[in-house]
Each structure stands twice: as C-alpha cells, then as structure tokens.
Amino acid sequence: MKLWGGRFTGETNELVAKYNSSISFDSRFWREDIKGSIAHALMLGNQGIITREEADQIHKGLTDIYSDIEAGRLQIDMEAEDIHSFVESVLTERIGEAGKKLHTGRSRNDQVALDMRMYSRNCAKEVAKLLKKLQTTIFTLIKENTETYMPGFTHLQKAQPVTLSHHLGAYFEMFERDRSRLKDAYNRMNFSPLGSGALAGTTYPLDREMAAHTLDFAGPTENSMDGVSDRDYLIELLSAFSTIMMHLSRFSEEIIIWNTNEYRFVEIDDAYSTGSSIMPQKKNPDIAELVRGKTGRVYGSLMTMLTVLKGLPLAYNKDLQEDKEAFFDAYDTVTDSITLFDGMLSTIHFNKEVMAQSARNGFTNATDAADYLVTHGIPFRDAHGIIGRLVLYCIDKQKALDDLTLEEFQSFSPAFGEDIFDAISLKTCVEKRNTIGAPGTKAIERMIEHCENCLNA
C-alpha cells in the first residue's frame, strides 16, 4: 500500500516503481527505523499529541514487529516502496487506528535522515573497533620484533637499517589517526534530525530534545532544512573509510613485495593465499591484492556522495536516496578488508634471517660509516665522499662494508680504526638511533609505551 495514494488516480508505471523503490537496500536499517518510530511515538504521547494509550499501543506493536523480524517470523516485503512504508503498514494492519497516528508531525524526509544517521554512526563505531583489533595484532608483532632487523627503504632502494617493530609502528600510527578521524566525525554527526518534518518543522508541539536523547543523540539538529538534506557526515565517514583503505592498500603493497621470490621477507599462511590453476609452484597474495584493488571501490563511494550533493538545492531531493548503496557498499568493503587483513597479518611468517641479511647486503650502514668518520674528525661532506668511494669498491669486489679488512678501510682513510666494525654492525646502527620516533632500543621502548596508551585510551 502506498503512503501517498490519495492524490493519485492513475497507476504508477512499473519501471518507475522499481526505479523509485529503495526497500532492497534500506531494509538494512529496519532496526533503526523501528527504534526511531518508538522514540517518536513515545514523545507524541508525552506531549499529548496522541493519547498515552495510543502511544503504548504503537510502542507494543513496534516492539512486536521488531522481535518478529529478528526471529524470522515476519519477512520484509520486497514489494513495499521502502522500509518506512513497510513498518507502518504492518503496524496499522496489526493495531488498527492507532497505527495511522504514528506519522503525525513526521515526514519520511526526517525519518530517513534519522535512520541513516543512526545506522552510520554505528558503522563508525564498528570500524573503529575493528581497527583497534588490527592495532592489537600489530602491537603484538611490534613487541616480538624489536630485534628483527630489516632494510628501511626510500625510492624502494635500501636506505638505512630499521627493525620490523619500527616499520610496523608506522602503520600503528596511521590506524590510530584513522580511529581518531572516525571519533571526530561521530561527535559532529551525533545530532538528531527527527522533528525537522518534510523541511519546515511542524506546528505540533514536538519535544525534539526528548526524542534525540531517547535515541542517544547529543541533541537535535539546529535547522530543519539542513536536518533533512545534510549528508556531510557520510562524506566524512566515507573519507575516513577511504583513508583507512589507502593505509591498508599501502601495507598490502608492501606485503605483496615482501612475499615475492626476490624478497622472501614473509610467507603468507595457506589460509590467506591461493594457488594457480596452471602453475603448480604459485602461492599468491590474493587478500593483499584484493584489499589494494577494493580501495578504488571505496574511493568511488566517496566520489558518488560528493557528486550527488554538489548541485542539490535545499531541501530534500530524491537524489539523496543514492546515499545508501554507496555508503553500505563502502562499509561492507572496509569491514571485510580490515578483518581479512588482520587475519592475514596475525598468521604471517617473517623470515627474520632473510630480512637481516638483506639489510646487511644493501650498504644500509653507509650513513653510519660516514658518521663514524665524522666522530673521528673528518667533515661530513668529505666523509660522504670517502664512503661513496668505499661503496664503489665493495660493489666491484662483491662485498659488504662489514666484510672489508681494516687495511682495506684504512686505504681509503687513516681515520679508520678497529672500532669501525662495531660502529657499522647492524645492531649498533639501529640501537644508536634514539631520537624520539627512531628505531633505537630506547626510542622503541618509548614507542611501545605510547602504543599501549593508545590501546588503553
């Protein structure tokens, strides 16, 4: 049954009905729709706009519908126009006249705006929870790998040695910022549009504060035209989701590289990789590749929302119905991606010896060799030149700096002494770097404490 049939005499074109209908996707927030209606009905009763008996009848009717859908006793009818019409028509069928009063002082415009806020603020919480779980996995790896040496890269060229703890600590920070972005968005969006009506409020003495607080909002939205047409919060959430995917995608890219035969830094667990139908030797990092690929999809949803809103005059326009599929798809993608990435990371095997060997072979201690000369009285620019020539020599001899004899060192500069070997050992190179945020032992201790604080906050 249509909620708006009165003014019409002709039938709706079949394709129009299908094109217009939103039940196939807005049925997802049936819980929010019912909770919002209960809060509205109780407020109407409290204000004497409907009688207390009617409010109680509606309350009971809606509670029953809720538990019947939950238990599978009531199927949502996919022929209905949207979830709002479905719930209202079942209610009226079940409780009669009182059901027809539920929509007093309300429009589907503020109703859908309310449902979407309630649903999406919950999504923000869920995603933050999953991120925290992923950070916990990362934190475990951080604590286990303070002495797992590896090359740090710039330009994807070996640069200076770091530890796996330090490298993973960078991702911990990214996901910490992501969580704080979600929290910011949550606090800004947590206002109830219910009571905005179609666009211009209503003449009934609604208590918007009461309805807002019943539904755990910080308060009502301030302007009714904005209340029904604002979807900024979805842009903020989609932007936060996009940034999360971008971070996961960077991490995925590294895992894909580390998993190559050329690197062999990691081995992905069988449960999180797949094989090839033709090449028996293959074990592919599909999850990492899919996370990288699906990032584009979430960016797409953000673009959808920005574009839907850019030319919209105030207040409600049907274009706004497009917010749902875009947001739901992004939400599903981001939650699946975090969950699977977390599973992959918590079961991955790090080939620690290969990683350390890679750091040794790549002249990652060249800066430290130059610093050694500086501490022995040579100006940095000259030291840089001496070590540059030493590196060339090593490349020619296919040796690492650590493999040279003291005589070979001294043939480049008499400033070299026996202590050069200790000064450029992987362990020393890393452990000495103790500025805040660096990979040295003291700095990592500080980082671990900081991570712990983040997870306990």
Query: Residue 47, interface with ligand ARG (CB under 6 A)?
Result: no
Residue of 155, 165, 376, 413 marked active site: 155
111/249 with CB nearer ligand ARG? 111
Closest to ligand ARG by CB, 112 vs 142, is: 112
Choosing from 59, 242, 249, 276, which is the catalytic residue? 276
Q: Contact, 81 vs 24, CB < 8 A?
A: no
Of residues 55 and 80, the one with the C-beta less far from ligand ARG: 80
Q: How many residues bind ligand ARG (CB under 6 A)?
A: 10
State which of positions 111-130 bind ligand ARG (CB under 6 A). 112
Q: Is 110 in the site for ligand ARG (CB under 6 A)?
A: no
Q: In the complex, which residue's CB is closest to ligand ARG? A: 321
Is residue 321 a contact point for ligand ARG (CB under 6 A)? yes
Q: Which is nearer to ligand ARG, 33 or 54 (CB)?
A: 33
Given the DSSP bridges, would you call strands 219-220 and 191-192 parallel, antiparallel or unpaired?
A: parallel
* CA 204 to each of CA 55, 219, 263, 360: distance values in angstroms, whole numbers, following the listed order: 16, 19, 70, 76
Q: Which of 28, 35, 40, 108 binds ligand ARG (CB under 6 A)?
A: 108
Tell which one of 266, 320, 344, 430 touches ligand ARG (CB under 6 A). Answer: 320
- Tell me: does residue 447 bind ligand ARG (CB under 6 A): no
224 a catalytic residue: no
* Residue 276 designated active-site: yes
Identify the residue among 57, 85, 92, 109 touching ligand ARG (CB under 6 A): 109
Q: Which residues contact 344 (CB under 8 A, 6 or more apart)?
A: 255, 268, 269, 272, 287, 288
| Closer of 227 and 285 to ligand ARG (Cβ) | 227
Does position 69 bind ligand ARG by CB under 6 A?
no
In whole angstroms, the minimum distance from the beta carbon of 127 to ligand ARG comes to 22
Smallest distance, ligand ARG to C-beta of residue 445, A: 52
φ, ψ dihedrals at 162, nearest 5°: -135, -170
| Residues in 373-432 at the binding interface with ligand ARG, rule: CB under 6 A | none
22 near ligand ARG, rule: CB under 6 A: yes
Nearer to ligand ARG, 155 or 318 (CB): 318
Residue in 172, 316, 363, 416 binding ligand ARG, rule: CB under 6 A: 316
Residues from 71 through 90 that contact ligand ARG (CB under 6 A): 82
Note whether 326 binds ligand ARG by CB under 6 A: no
Residues 387-421 as b or e (16 or more Cβ within 10 Å = b): beebeeebeeeeebbbebeeebbeebbebbeeebe
Q: Are 246 and 173 in contact (CB under 8 A)?
A: no
For position 194 contacting ligand ARG by CB under 6 A, the verdict is no
Judged by beta carbon, residue 119 or residue 171, the one nearer ligand ARG is 119
**Beta carbon of residue 121, minimum distance to ligand ARG (angstroms, whole number):** 17
CB of 109 to ligand ARG, least distance (A): 5
Active site residue ranges: 155, 276
Residues that bind ligand ARG (CB under 6 A): 22, 26, 82, 108-109, 112, 316, 318, 320-321
